[in-house]
Structure 1
Amino acid sequence: MSDSKEPRAQPLGLLEEEELITSGMNFFPRDFGFRQTRGYKSLAGCLGHAPMVLLLLSFTLFTGLLVAILIQVSKNPSSQRQEQSMQEEISQDLTQLKAAVERLCRPCPWEWTFFQGNCYFISNSQRNWHDSVTACQEVGAQLVIIKSDEEQNFLQLQSSRSNRLAWMGLSDLHEENTWQWVDGSPLSPSLRQYWNQGEPNNIGEEDCAEFNGNGWNDDRCSAAKFWICKKSAASCSKDEGWLLSSVSAPLTAHAA
């Protein structure tokens, strides 16, 4: 009985083994290994940029939503009507307030100061003495005439605070050393104490009086200085007078 033998695989030669290995390497790396590596790297790249993409997307959506809301609000007729109604109410209130202020009794014009029944105004510009007299007359007043110690102290304080040399309505133009106010009344002896030491000295034809420092000084009437006007206050009720005098403008208000 003859033994049947299965055919044996022939051993591969070196060349055949090399071809098989090369063939396997070409198949597996190309079809599996290389493509897996490439796909992995692509996926990792996408995941790495995901936060930035999400952030940009969120910002875009938020911006679009905000614009849509603003457009909707601007087109809302109800909001526009409410705003217009509020503006009309405010305008009416201001008109009524202005009318009420105009009806108030003011003892002194705006930019004048009330003191003991009189109104005073000190300028911000400068003129010579004669032009200062005219400036006060043009507003229905006089270049200030001082009649009491209280009035003198008040005016001297205001002049000192403003650091201004200001004309008063006193001169000896008609007769040397005979000082008279612009209304023709003489300077009372009780007020002569307010001349500064050594004044009036009439140096260089100094015939007009000014507030200077803590007292009075005579100077040339042609010199340009500030001036103070005075006139009687308007007649108001007691309540109105006290109310408005408490909010009177300072003496150094703006001048014409």
Structure 2
Amino acid sequence: MDSSRVYGSLKTSRTPEYKPVSLSFLPSELVTVHSSLLVSKMDSSRVYGNVKTFSTPSSLSSGACRCPHWHQLALKLSCAGLILLFLSLIGLSVLVRFLVQKPPIAKYSVASQENRTEPTGGSAMLKCPRDWHSYREKCLFISQTSGPWSEGLTDCSVKEATLLFIEDEEELKFIRDFLKSKEREFFIGLHYVSAEKMWKWINGSTLNPDLLQVTGKAKEDSCAVISKTEVFSDTCSADNRWICQKKLKHD
């Protein structure tokens, strides 16, 4: 009878609910041991439950830290985009720098061409003295004083030049255009040789009638004068200004 009661009490302790069992019939030592066993078992079940409860979040957190595949792909694409943007900015800066430096070069080129033709088509490699005007490989000087043809010849000689010698129609046109703003006539290096009955340049060459025609009566002591419209005969002792010429000099 006693053993069946003890067995019943032990069997009852395995169930989730504990029913009070009277142990008054047992000695106090056995009651104490039995109570300790029950408490120990209950504590172990509580500890196990707690451990199991706390272990669950760790498995969830490990799964939560895993990044999805599309997120990794987007990150890679973003990095590639930043690299391409950086390279594009470098290329753009180089292009802008090239374009900024190019206009001054073009401007200098235009200025050089203007200098070569200003005002009379002179070469940029050659330079005329101050107050002289360049045309091709010539320097032309327009006098501000007047006098006879011989005085003009002397003045040009002092300047290491000669009176103007017109070589072709293009030069003749240029001289006339250049004199459009001047309401005066100018001696040139052309005079009439009565003994030969022809017009000659001061270098000894004969005037080509196809180049220009000297209007007016030619006689001894006749010298050619040019204006903005024509070349005509005047007395060498007349009071006119003159045009000198000399070769361009290298800088």
In which range does the TM-score fall when normalised by the shorter chain? Answer: 0.3 to 0.5
The structure number with the bigger radius of gyration is 2
TM-score by length of 1: 0.46
TM-score by length of 2: 0.47
- Which is bigger in relative contact order (C-alpha 8 A, separation at least 6)? 1
